[in-house]
Amino acid sequence: MSDSIAFTKAQFLISAPSINQCPEDTGREVAFAGRSNAGKSSAINTLTDNAKLARTSKTPGRTQLLNFFSLSEDCRLVDLPGYGFAKVSKATKQAWDRNLAGYLQERQSLQGLVMLMDIRHPLQQYDWQMIRWASESEMPVHLLLTKADKLKRGPAKNTLLQVQRELENEGLSENISIQTFSSLKKEGLKELKKQLLKWLNSPE
């Protein structure tokens, strides 16, 4: 696999309602997870420089399927269903949670999880749940504190340090990297790409 992946060449592959409908479990992929209002789709669109690639909406919770995007023959990005905020029926929410858990626990090609949190509201209940699951599964996590343009540089840096401290206090800082990010201003884009390349490039 090439050392340089062309994120701008990302193409929509398939939307899967469950683990059984996902593409063949080969190659390497990175999944984007987060609360329904964390800006997952916006981050993917900024990463790929394609405003129409991942579906964005002012109504949180529109991503209800596992959405796969191909970067190359054996590399993919995955936009996971948002959690914790969407106004949907209890049965629908339970089905989402089941599909999400099934994918995260069974997918062999999953190399890492980009977890997005609004920098103004980090580490909510569902975020902790996801971080603890990843830690128990030894799944590498890259935390993206999104919407960093909503805060001045000082408060944004303080929030990042505070999140790092809370993870350390819970004994969950191992295997977790963290950065601030703004889709609007494309801040932190280079850092995000660097982490993704580390996961998506096959070890020699």
Q: Are strands 75-79 and 110-118 parallel, antiparallel or unpaired?
A: unpaired
Look at the block and give the residue holding tokens 């579906």.
Answer: 55
DSSP 3-state of 2: coil
Q: Cα 71 from chain centroid?
A: 16
**In the prediction, which pLDDT does 11 show?**
96
Mean pLDDT, the chain, whole residue set: 89
Q: Is residue 159 within 8 Å of 122, Cβ to Cβ?
A: yes
- For 46, phi then psi, to 5°, come to -70, -45
**In the prediction, which pLDDT does 19 show?**
85
Q: Is residue 110 within 8 Å of 150, Cβ to Cβ?
A: no
Residue 169 half-sphere exposure, CB side, CA atoms within 13 Å? 7
The structural domains of the chain, ordered by start, are: 7-199 (3.40.50.300)
Higher-confidence position of 173 and 17: 173
CA distances from 35 to 4, 73, 79, 81, 188 (A): 30, 29, 12, 9, 20
Average pLDDT score over residue span 171-198: 96
Q: Cα 76 from chain centroid?
A: 13
pLDDT at 181 over 60: yes
Prediction pTM value = 0.90
| Angle of CA points 42, 116, 43, to nearest 5° | 20
Condensed to tens digits (0 to 9), the pLDDT of residues 35-80 reads: 888 999 999 999 999 999 987 655 554 557 889 999 999 999 999 8
> Which tokens in the block code for residue 81?
């269903």
Condensed to tens digits (0 to 9), the pLDDT of residues 2-18 reads: 457 999 999 999 998 88
CA dihedral angle for residue 93, residue 62, residue 38, residue 8, rounded to 10 degrees? 130
C-alpha span between 53 and 41 (Å, rounded): 8
Longest pairwise C-alpha distance within the chain = 47
Residue 165 half-sphere exposure, CB side, CA atoms within 13 Å? 6
